[in-house]
Amino acid sequence: MKEKVIQFGEGGFLRGFADWMLQIVNEKTDFGGKVVVVQPIDKGMCDMLMAQNCEYTHICRGLEGVETKKIDVISRCVKPYDDFDAYLSLAENPDFRFVISNTTEAGICFDENDKATDKPAKTFPAKLTQLLKKRFDSGLSGFVFLPCELIDKNGENLKKCVLKYADLWDLGADFKAWIEKDNIFCNTLVDRINTGYPKDEKIDLGYEDNMINTSEYFHLWVVEGYMDLFKEIPFNKCGLNVILTDNLPKYRTRKVRILNGAHTSLVPYALLSGFDTVKSCMDDEKMLSHIKKCVYDEIIPTLDLPKEELIEYADNVLKRFSNPYIKHYLTSIALNSVSKFKVRVLPSITEYIKRYNKMPETLIFSFAKLIEFYKTDMANDDKEVMEFMKTKSLDEILSNESLWGQNLLFLKPEIERNLANE
């Protein structure tokens, strides 16, 4: 098999997401592509991975069952901090076509202190610019970028950083034109809960594997910016949940409103009621009813994707929430609940009112529970936010535009009614 993919990042997410998918593509089609992993930081897990020939076991677990798969799609690892020349030499291989990355949300950034002569440069985009300059100087075609960092417009932001380094390092107009015309920077949305190495469990595989990786079954990769992707990597022929679109924001909105919105509209109520994990709520009739009303009756009616698609996604979300292998603590989701509510739930409330000229009763109840939650000592947020929410009147809370982005006093009668019913 030819090495076709350069992957920045050797962590559990990419190994349980992109590499797992490419393994399946290799097994089911004639793609025949191997991955070369680049360790983007000085200290990482590449030595552990190389110690077992870059092979490892991935286990999907959930209500669907347990599925174990050996992954051997990675051919080798390259460590720029140990061997910068070996890193740059990747640029000279014409078979490389795709660049996948997951360098965390902070990875796609620009630092004016990075220098073209650094071996390597500090930030991921700066390292990438060094590689791209070598590629350009070698007279080869560019790459298709599939970044997996969890930021909005990840591909566009990566491209902007590369072009800024091109200016900072004075790499020339021809190089910048080649970046623009010969490289494709896709925006992507990734969704899979990866639970990594099972530290507190003993899994007997019959062989030693220090790089075991675990995840849920659900996976979603939405790609915007290259509608011909399936002609090169036939994900669509393997039953994989990869979507090509020219409108990524609607899928991001779906995820934020349904998955994240369900979490945020549940957590204050659940914590006030004595629950500790998402799974414990799914096992309780009253809490499950609350989640279902929020999602199916009040959130989905505010979204514009086909209803069947939204219901299928919501069904998957509830199945994921019920996964017995995932302990998702409510206290961790509760962090910064005010700002989360503003982004994840409030738009569903206002859109519901706009479309149906009535209040979404369950989401309003959730809002009342959020306010009640912040009156306790359980909240975990910015000190000023906690102090304000704990000490101020309902009028002051609802009219605080810096918290909500708008004046919400028009919701007061309904919220007051819910608070009074406690």
Tell me the pLDDT tens digit for each residue of 101-118: 999 778 899 999 999 999
Neighbours of 323 (CB within 10 A): 21
In a 10 Å sphere around its CB, with 0-12 CB exposed, 13-18 middle and 19+ buried, how is residue 231 labelled?
exposed
Q: What domains appear along the chain, each with residue ranges and CATH number?
A: 2-245 (3.40.50.720), 249-420 (1.10.1040.10)
Does residue 422 surpass a pLDDT of 70? Answer: no
Distance CA 101, CA 127 (A): 12
Distance CA 191, CA 219 (A): 6
Instruction: Provide, rounded to the nearest whole percent, the portion of the chain with pLDDT above 90.
Output: 93
Say which residues have a Cβ less than 8 Å from residue 50's Cβ, sequence separation at least 6: 76, 77
Distance CA 23, CA 35 (A): 10
Residues facing residue 324 across a β-bridge: none
Provide the pLDDT for residue 259: 95
**How far apart, in Å, do the first and last CA atoms of the chain sit?**
65
Say which residues have a Cβ less than 8 Å from residue 263's Cβ, sequence separation at least 6: 278, 333, 344
Distance CA 105, CA 190 (A): 13
Say which residues have a Cβ less than 8 Å from residue 176's Cβ, sequence separation at least 6: 163, 166, 167
Question: What are the φ/ψ torsions at residue 165 (nearest 5 degrees)?
Answer: -70, -35
Provide the pLDDT for residue 327: 86
In a 10 Å sphere around its CB, with 0-12 CB exposed, 13-18 middle and 19+ buried, how is residue 344 labelled?
buried
Cα 158 versus chain centre, distance: 16
Residues 212-242 have pLDDT tens digits of: 999 999 999 999 999 999 999 999 999 999 9
Neighbours of 392 (CB within 10 A): 15
In a 10 Å sphere around its CB, with 0-12 CB exposed, 13-18 middle and 19+ buried, how is residue 50 labelled?
middle
pTM: predicted TM-score of the whole model, two decimal places? 0.89
